[in-house]
Amino acid sequence: MPTLTYSPNSEYYGEVETYTPNPRPKFRIKRLVKYVEPINEAAEILTEYYLAKGLTIPPEELEACKTNVEEIQLAPSAPAKPEYGTPEFWKDYWKKKKAKQAKDSMEAQGQ
């Protein structure tokens, strides 16, 4: 098999360009994040802690962890916003809009 040799005097000899792949990919692969319930997450963290220390988990501590998380979960949260387009949504929308207009007009009169 013949081999080609390039000498610096050859007309085919030129600058050597190194190939670099595209530094910015067109897309990124997103990892799926599994949702873990807070109760299970707290228990997993507690389990990992005790395993790292080489100890066994006291059952009363695991139970206390679960009851504390359940109390936090059952605490009342902010009321859910009504869905877009429902009568409750528009009622709330116009109420907020009128309050904002009244506030802006009061500020304009004060200046």
Task: Judge whether residue 59 has pLDDT over 90.
Answer: no
Percent of all residues in the chain with a pLDDT value above 90, rounded to a whole number: 19
- For position 97, what pLDDT does the model report? 95
User: Which residue type sits at 1?
Assistant: M
Lowest mean pLDDT among 2-11, 68-77, 90-99: 2-11
- For position 27, what pLDDT does the model report? 66
Percent of all residues in the chain with a pLDDT value above 70, rounded to a whole number: 56
Cα 89 to Cα 94: distance, rounded to the nearest angstrom: 9
Cα 39 to Cα 72: distance, rounded to the nearest angstrom: 10
Structure token digits, residue 74 = 């059952």
Cα 43 to Cα 59: distance, rounded to the nearest angstrom: 11
